[in-house]
Amino acid sequence: MSDADVHPPKRDPLTIRDLIVALGWHFFCGDNGPEDEFAAYWHLRFELLSRAFGLPAQWHMDRRRTPSIVKFAAADARRQGFFSQILEYSPLPGEMAIWRRHKPPIKAAEAVVYERLIDYAEELLLTFWPQLRGKTVSFGQLLEMGLPEDEPAFDPYS
């Protein structure tokens, strides 16, 4: 896995699409514990983006306001694609020629699927959280926000 696969591009401004990517990684990483720095990074990025966009704590768990399919679309878009799963591979004789022919169109198709999934999740979020429309935040603003303070657990029955 390359560094570009692990870290999101540093671009400004950050938008709802960045929030969706962070949601996908947040969902994927689950409860890996504080010793997992990769998971901690994505959980923190998700929390900071959520706060920066003015969303309430645990907004993604609120079934009255957030369709559950949003997190699944975000998690599926998060995947890096077929070829990024292969760290080390010993091809059979003649196999690499076939690999080279098929890799570019497969990667192009994966990029289209990624964009459509993010488009879908974005439209869903804007439908149910219209106050997100047009909002942006800079990476510097996220850094200035610091670590999120402890917030009460979300109660879906309240």
Tokens at 61, concatenated: 């768990």
pLDDT tens digits, one per residue of 98-127: 989 999 999 999 999 999 999 999 999 999
Residue type, 64: R
**Domain map (residue ranges) of the chain:** 11-82+91-145
Confidence of residue 30 (pLDDT cuts 50, 70, 90): confident
**pLDDT, tens digit, 9 for 90 and up, residues 36-58:** 788 888 999 999 999 999 999 99
Q: Specify whether the CB–CB gap between 39 and 32 falls below 8 A.
A: yes
89, 103 in Cβ contact below 8 A?
no
CA 83 to CA 64: how far, in whole Å? Answer: 38
- The DSSP 8-state label assigned to residue 64 in this structure reads T
Residue 40: burial class (beta carbons within 10 Å; 0-12, 13-18, 19+): middle
List, in order, residues 6 or more apart from 59 with CB less than 8 Å away: 50, 65, 66, 129
